[in-house]
C-alpha cells in the first residue's frame, strides 16, 4: 500500500476497507510503519516504536465487529500505561521505574475497538510545557516546517497525525495539550467534558483538569473514539456516564443558527498576533455565511486569578508526583534526572500549604459560574487557539540566564524558598503565547481546535470553540459542518526544512 493511497483514508475509512476484505490489517500497518521510518527521523514524534509487535498483531488480525479493527494508532507517552513497557512521562527521572504490569483502562478500550498499537509519542517532561522539547527525548518538530515546534504537550501525537504516520493518536489535555499541538500541526483536536474519558487506574489527573482523548485528521474519527470509550471506570470518584443522547445529537445536522461570541483579547492581557486575528476573522465570515449569529464580546474574566489557579495546579501536582520518587530513589537522584525548571516547580510546591491549595481550588467554581452565565446567552465562545502562530523550537524554553539561576538554586537547595508568585511571573511570557485554552480545563467544559486557516507562509493556525459543560455533541455538530464547508484533508506537509 503506497503512502498516497494510505493517506486518502481516515481511521474509519481504513477500518471499513479492512472489514470489507479490500485491505488487510497487515498491509495497513506496514504502510504506517514505512511512513514512520521515512519521516520520524526528521520530526521525532515516535520515541518508543512497537513495530515488530504491531506487525505480529496485524498478521494475526481477522476482520470482526470492531469499530476500528486493524487500524494502527500511536499512544502518548504520558499517564497511560501499556503492559510490558515503561511509561517515560517525557523524563529521565522514570528510568528506574518498572515496566507496567497492566494496560490503562482507556488504552484497553482502544484495544477493544480493534486498534493496533504502533508505539509511544513524544511529550514534554511531565506534560508541563506547550512545546514538546524534553531533554530525555529531544524536540519534536513541526511537519509543516522543521524549525518550528509541534506544540505540547501532545506534540508527538499531533506531529505523527499531521505527517500521515497514523490517522489518530492518543493525547491528553490539562491546559490545552490537545488543542495547542493540533493548532500547531493543522489537525483536529477535541477536549471532552470533564469526566467523559476514563483515567484508571488514576481517579483523576491534575484535580480533574486533565482529560484524555485523541488527535485526528477527521472529525468523525474523534467522535467515534469518544463514543466507544466514554464513561467512568471503577477508579472514578465521579461516575459520570455519557448518555446516548449526546452522541445522537453529535451526528445530526445543525437545525438552527448558533449564537457564537467571539473574542481575540488575551485572557492574560498580552497581545494576539495579526495572523491569529486574521484566522479568527476569516472564520467569523465563514460562520456568518453558514447562517450563524456571531458577536464580538469582551469576556469579564480575571486573568490574574485564572493564571494563578492554573499555575497552582503545576506546583501542587508536580510536588505530589515527585514525592514518591524522592522517597524511593533519593533527592540527589531526582534533582539530577529532572530538568531544572521541573525540579524548581517541585521545590516551590513544598512550601505550598494544603489550605492554600484548597482556597485556589475554590476559585474554580467562580470561573464555572461565569461561564454558566455566559452560556445562558451564547451557545459557544470562539477564540484563536493560540495568541501566536506556531513558534520556533526553543522559543518557549527558559533563557540561558534563567537556566543558570535555576541550576544554582537547585544545587544549593534554595529553590524551595522561591516565592510562588516569582515562579508564576517567570512563566507569564510563555503563557501569554497560549492564553485561551486553560479556562476550559478549569471549568471542565468541552473545547476544540479546528484547522481552518493557514498563514501566507504555509503554517497552520487553529480556531478554538468552547461549549457549555456536557455540550460535546454541539461542538461535534459544528465541527462536522466546518469540515464540510472548509475541508483541510487535502493539505499535506512536505516535511522539509
SS3 content of the chain, % helix, strand, coil (to 5): 45, 15, 40
Confidence of residue 238 (pLDDT cuts 50, 70, 90): confident
Residue 236's pLDDT is 86
Task: Say how many C-beta atoms besides its own lie within 10 A of residue 88's C-beta.
Answer: 22
Q: 345 and 217 in one domain?
A: no
d(CA 147, CA 142): 7
Q: 307 and 228 in one domain?
A: no
- Say which range, 3-7, 70-74, 122-126, 396-400, has the weakest mean pLDDT: 396-400
Catalytic residue among 91, 104, 149, 153: 153
Which letter does DSSP use for residue 395 in this model? T
Residue 250's pLDDT is 85
Mean pLDDT, rounded, for 434-442: 98
pLDDT above 70 for 243: no
Active-site residue, 177 included: yes
Q: 86 and 21 in one domain?
A: yes
d(CA 46, CA 34): 13
Q: 238 and 331 in one domain?
A: no
Q: 71 and 197 in one domain?
A: yes
Catalytic residue among 76, 191, 222, 264: 76
Residue that has been written with the C-alpha cell 491569529 in this structure: 276
- Percentage with pLDDT > 70 across the chain: 99
- Say which range, 88-102, 114-128, 227-241, 469-483, has the weakest mean pLDDT: 227-241
Q: 480 and 351 in one domain?
A: no
Catalytic residue among 149, 154, 170, 177: 177
Is 63 among the domain residues? yes
Confidence of residue 62 (pLDDT cuts 50, 70, 90): very high
Where would I find the H helices in 78-154?
105-112
Task: Say how many C-beta atoms besides its own lie within 10 A of residue 468's C-beta.
Answer: 21
Residue 50's pLDDT is 98
Is 410 among the domain residues? yes
Is 409 among the domain residues? yes
Q: 320 and 199 in one domain?
A: no
181-228 pLDDT tens trace: 999 999 999 999 999 999 999 999 999 999 999 999 999 999 999 999
What domain range is 104 assigned to?
3-254+475-485
18-38 pLDDT tens trace: 999 999 999 999 999 999 999
Residue 242's pLDDT is 60
107-128 pLDDT tens trace: 999 999 999 999 999 999 999 9
Q: How many domains does the chain have?
A: 2
pLDDT above 60 for 497: no
d(CA 494, CA 410): 42
Residue that has been written with the C-alpha cell 493518536 in this structure: 169
Confidence of residue 461 (pLDDT cuts 50, 70, 90): very high
Mean pLDDT, rounded, for 447-458: 97
Is 153 among the domain residues? yes
Mean pLDDT, rounded, for 265-278: 96
- Please state, rounded to an integer, the average pLDDT across all residues of the chain: 95
Q: 343 and 233 in one domain?
A: no
DSSP string across 396-453: TSPPHHHHHHHHHHHHHT-GGGS-HHHHHHHHHHHHTTS-SSHHHHHHT--EEEEEEE
What are the b/e assignments for 448-465, b being 16+ CB within 10 Å? bbbbbbbbeeebbbbbbb
Q: 88 and 216 in one domain?
A: yes
Active-site residue, 368 included: no
Residue 244's pLDDT is 73
Q: 175 and 43 in one domain?
A: yes
Residue 316's pLDDT is 95
**Cell of residue 221, nine digits:** 474519527
Is 332 among the domain residues? yes
Is 291 among the domain residues? no
pLDDT above 70 for 292: yes
Q: 216 and 348 in one domain?
A: no
Mean pLDDT, rounded, for 277-282: 98
Q: ω before 153 within 30° of 0 (cis)?
A: yes
Mean pLDDT, rounded, for 464-492: 95
d(CA 360, CA 365): 10
357-372 pLDDT tens trace: 999 999 999 999 999 9
pLDDT above 60 for 447: yes
Is 352 among the domain residues? yes
Is 346 among the domain residues? yes
Distance of alpha carbon 113 from its chain centroid, rounded?
A: 21
CATH of the domain at 18: 3.90.1300.10
Active-site residue, 353 included: no
What's the residue count for the chain?
497
Amino acid at each position: 500500500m503506497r503512502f498516497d493511497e494510505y493517506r486518502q483514508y481516515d481511521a474509519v475509512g481504513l477500518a471499513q476497507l479492512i472489514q470489507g476484505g479490500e485491505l488487510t490489517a497487515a498491509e495497513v500497518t506496514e504502510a504506517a510503519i514505512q511512513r514512520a521510518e521515512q519521516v520520524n527521523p526528521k520530526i521525532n514524534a515516535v520515541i518508543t516504536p512497537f513495530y515488530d509487535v504491531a506487525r505480529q498483531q496485524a498478521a494475526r488480525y481477522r476482520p470482526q465487529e470492531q469499530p476500528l479493527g486493524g487500524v494502527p494508532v500511536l499512544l502518548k507517552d504520558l499517564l497511560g500505561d501499556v503492559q510490558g513497557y515503561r511509561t517515560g512521562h517525557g523524563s529521565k527521572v522514570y528510568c528506574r521505574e518498572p515496566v507496567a504490569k497492566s494496560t490503562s483502562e482507556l488504552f484497553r478500550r482502544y484495544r477493544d475497538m480493534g486498534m493496533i498499537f504502533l508505539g509511544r509519542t513524544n511529550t514534554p517532561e511531565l506534560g508541563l510545557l506547550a512545546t514538546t522539547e524534553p531533554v530525555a527525548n529531544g524536540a519534536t518538530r513541526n511537519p509543516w516546517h522543521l524549525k518550528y515546534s509541534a506544540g505540547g504537550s501532545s506534540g508527538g501525537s499531533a506531529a505523527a497525525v499531521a505527517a500521515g504516520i497514523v490517522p489518530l493518536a492518543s493525547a491528553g489535555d490539562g491546559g490545552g495539550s490537545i488543542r495547542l499541538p493540533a493548532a500547531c500541526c493543522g489537525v483536529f483536536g477535541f477536549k471532552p467534558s470533564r469526566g467523559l474519558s476514563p483515567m484508571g487506574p488514576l481517579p483523576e489527573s491534575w484535580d480533574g483538569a486533565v482529560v484524555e482523548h485523541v488527535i485526528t485528521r477527521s472529525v468523525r474519527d474523534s467522535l467515534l473514539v469518544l463514543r466507544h470509550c466514554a464513561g467512568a471506570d471503577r477508579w472514578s470518584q465521579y461516575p459520570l456516564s455519557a448518555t446516548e443522547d449526546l452522541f445522537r445529537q453529535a451526528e445530526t445536522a445543525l437545525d438552527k443558527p448558533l449564537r457564537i461570541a467571539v473574542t481575540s483579547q488575551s485572557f492574560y492581557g498580552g497581545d494576539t498576533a495579526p495572523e491569529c486575528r486574521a484566522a479568527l476573522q476569516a472564520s467569523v465570515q465563514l460562520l456568518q455565511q453558514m447562517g450563524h449569529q456571531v458577536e464580538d464580546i469582551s469576556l469579564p474574566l480575571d486573568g490574574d486569578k485564572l493564571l494563578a489557579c492554573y499555575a497552582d495546579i503545576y506546583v501542587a501536582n508536580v510536588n505530589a508526583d515527585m514525592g514518591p520518587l524522592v522517597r524511593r530513589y533519593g533527592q540527589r537522584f531526582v534533582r539530577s534526572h529532572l530538568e531544572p525548571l521541573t525540579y524548581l516547580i517541585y521545590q516551590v510546591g513544598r512550601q505550598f500549604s494544603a489550605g492554600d491549595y484548597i482556597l485556589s481550588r475554590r476559585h474554580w467554581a467562580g470561573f464555572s459560574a461565569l461561564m454558566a452565565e455566559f452560556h445562558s446567552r451564547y451557545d459557544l465562545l470562539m477564540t484563536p487557539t493560540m495568541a501566536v502562530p506556531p513558534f520556533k523550537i526553543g522559543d518557549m524554553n527558559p533563557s540561558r540566564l534563567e537556566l543558570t539561576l535555576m541550576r544554582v538554586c537547585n544545587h544549593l537547595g534554595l529553590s524551595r524558598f522561591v516565592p510562588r508568585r516569582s515562579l508564576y511571573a517567570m512563566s507569564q511570557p510563555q503563557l501569554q503565547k497560549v492564553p485561551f485554552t486553560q479556562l476550559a480545563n478549569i471549568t471542565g467544559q468541552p473545547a476544540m481546535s479546528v484547522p481552518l486557516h493557514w498563514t501566507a507562509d504555509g503554517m497552520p493556525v487553529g480556531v478554538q470553540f468552547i461549549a457549555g459543560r456536557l455540550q460535546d455533541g454541539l461542538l461535534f455538530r459544528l465541527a462536522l459542518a466546518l469540515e464540510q464547508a472548509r475541508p483541510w484533508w487535502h493539505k499535506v506537509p512536505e516535511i522539509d526544512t
